[in-house]
Chain A
């Protein structure tokens, strides 16, 4: 049962129960909605972007423990970063949870606390839960006024199915 504890680490459980930066962000000038059609999760990510710096990041919505904790910790780790740093961090995060060991881009920020999501790689069907807030953030930064679906961003369905 070691794997399960690797997935649901205490830090993740804490963030899922008491998420940080939760709620509509006053003064946000970027926002996007993310949707995972497999589980029905919806999250809105808000950003206050000033001179290419993410001054504040917040989110709202209902999701599983993994997506809620991921959103919460994402908002914490992005505050004060530039748009480029945010995107580079997502790339590293994505590599971490998909088990890729690519060399990080020069200058890419350290994952820091986000390392706790490494257990997700043993649960391929849960990757979309962890990446939903990040894909949503990307759409918000791109100023895309549409709902981001994990089905369009993470490729073919891993666990859909009839009835």
Chain B
């Protein structure tokens, strides 16, 4: 059996699209038929759980019982992949906690596959976060995500400065999330379903929905680009050895 994979999705700033990225990951693994569970650390109420209620549990990652719930069950869980959507501002402290409980050591020994999706904001503060996070990452797969979904412009970044930070983490991989049309984005929020469910024009319970064909088309196109980024980054190969791979499917079937 493949070793369990843990993906931490986080940033030290709020509003940079952590949960959006976590949602695309859950859709991606689902499309690859990889059993996945998720933890939403926006306790007591979680945004991720609203979109993926069946696989998501809301936890307080700073509490020991909830840490046990996540990490003591990695081997026994049916899920191959555990995605943790880390609440804004808690990325560094979560990594510190993982270090304290010996999780990072287990990852270093190869007992667990560990990846970090670090969602960058537009400000120079985000670059400082890279330096802060780099202390913990070690041998983990480290993905630096530039999220343009809300038409963010990374205006404060000087490319040379960015590269100097980027290169501090050995093997860091850059991922770009393209912009999604505002109305399409808003309608998926209103529908409160996974992106693939919206594209398939279904409700959460699987009933036919009445979503605009144009908006579904925009979401399908956008999700296709996001997944192409994950394919380019060889995400699945990074987090676990190659699985029996069939044809990679289209978002809308």
B and A form one assembly: no
Residues of B at the A interface (CB closer than 8 Å) are: none
Q: Residues of A at under 8 Å CB distance from B?
A: none
